[in-house]
A = this chain, B = another copy of it.
Amino acid sequence: MNVTIYDVAREANVSMATVSRVVNGNPNVKPATRKKVHDAIERLGYRPNAVARGLASKKTTTVGVIIPDISSIFFAELARGIEDIATMYNYNIILSNSDQNKDKEIHLINAMLGKQVDGLVFMGGKITDDHIREFKTASVPIALAATVDESGETPSVNINYEQAAYDATELLLSHNNEKVAFVSGPEDTVVNTQKLEGYKRAMKDQGHNPDQWIVTGDYSYDSGIEAFEQLMEMEDKPSAVFVSADEMALGVIHGAQDNGVRVPEDLEVFGFDNTRLATMVRPTLSTVVQPMYDIGAVAMRLLTKFMNKEEVEDQSVILPHRIIERNSTQQK
């Protein structure tokens, strides 16, 4: 049997309420008895049972984190931001992978609520009405990270994907490229749709056909290679390509190089995210900086505010993005 608060109370000759007080740092305890209790705790090797505490206090100091895939370089960075801030505020994290599968997502939300998490950070592709319904029954706060809820009902932290894609496309266009292609991600996520819209808006603003040079990948390196091949099969080949994720952009670069196409001389390549990969390729990748770690950190911070019932000015946080030019695009 493990040692309980009652054992400590007996050992220290006080009541369990007093032990509870010193364990929880309640100031209303005489220093002398505080010491007695601490000594008893030390002697017995007492370790408070967080489950019992959770049942009695209705707070578990743990938050649920639903993530598409922790082995993705992108989400892992987000997760690190979330976990760091959680630790800072004394929360632990229950982490589960959803693979962006809606049924799994709904199931995970319920499993975590069953475990009485104090809050939830959710990352996913598309927030449906079913998600919203689950969130509403939750009775604990939720924050979305790098995930947009079009209804705007759920607190979230993002960048402006549409504008970021616009900026990237416009930069490519400003390099005298007439034909700028876009390698899209899976088409069923809101983030991707927004990127696509930003690309199209930039193309239209400069009087170009926005629909001619679009191919679709799945964010993977290999799909970048395939995307490059599709681009080269076009009769009217693009001279620049904006790729919706860095890893996929590396695939495009290597696909080009493997086929004797020089980057950036023959083809300019632009990425998205600024993962660590962007500097781990030659030429180094020009890309949109999305602050993954910060998005995770801010989302968790936002969640702590809700959990503490603090005032929150704006529940839809948009973090700034920026462009970083490296060597996969022409120097101006």
Q: Which of A49, A60, A84, A115 has the most CB of B within 10 A?
A: A115
- This chain: copies in complex: 2
A95 at the interface (CB under 8 A from B): yes
Contact in complex: B282, A113 (CB < 8 Å): no
17 example contacts (A-B, Cβ-Cβ < 8 A) are as follows A2-B139, A47-B113, A50-B114, A50-B116, A51-B55, A62-B94, A69-B80, A70-B70, A70-B79, A73-B76, A76-B76, A79-B95, A83-B95, A87-B96, A94-B94, A221-B276, A221-B280
Answer yes or no: A163 CB below 8 A from chain B CBs.
no
Query: In the complex the two chains form, is A73's CB within 8 Å of B70's CB?
Result: no
Other than the given A92-B115, A250-B280, 8 more pairs (CB < 8 A) read A2-B139, A47-B113, A51-B54, A51-B55, A55-B55, A83-B95, A92-B111, A221-B280
Q: Is the CB of A97 within 8 A of B80?
A: yes
Is A160's CB within 8 Å of the partner chain B? no
Q: Does A254 contact B (CB under 8 A)?
A: yes
Most B CB atoms within 10 A — which of A71, A94, A277?
Answer: A71
Min CB–CB distance A93 → chain B (angstroms): 6
Report the interface size for chain A: residues with CB under 8 A from the other chain: 53
A51 to B50, CA, bound (A): 9
A261 interface residue per 8 A CB criterion: no
Which B residue sits closest to A250, measured CB to CB? Answer: B280
Label chain A's interface by main secondary structure.
helix
Nearest B residue to A87, CB-CB: B96
Shortest distance from the beta carbon of A292 to any chain B beta carbon, whole Å? 9
A47 proximity list for chain B (CB < 8 A): 110, 113-114
- Chain B residue nearest to A279 (CB atoms) is B221
With known contacts A49-B114, A69-B80, A280–B277 Cβ distance under 8 A: yes
Report the bound CA distance from A60 to B281 in whole Å: 45
Does A52 have its Cβ within 8 Å of any Cβ on chain B? yes
Q: Pick the residue among B60, B79, B137, B251 that contacts A51 (CB under 8 A).
A: B60
Confirm or deny: A48 has a beta carbon within 8 angstroms of a beta carbon on chain B.
Answer: yes
> Once the chains bind, are A70 and B76 in contact (CB under 8 Å)?
yes
Give chain A's interface residues, CB within 8 Å of chain B: 2, 45, 47-52, 54-55, 60, 62, 69-73, 76-77, 79-80, 83-84, 87, 92-97, 110-116, 137, 139, 221, 247, 250-251, 254, 257-258, 276-277, 279-282, 293
State the Cβ distance, A118 to closest chain B Cβ, in Å: 11
- Measured CB to CB, the closest approach of chain B to A96, in angstroms, equals 7
Contacts of A95 in B (CB 8 A): 79, 83, 93-95
A328 smallest CB distance to B (angstroms): 14
| Residues of B close to A96: CB separation below 8 A | 83, 87, 92-93
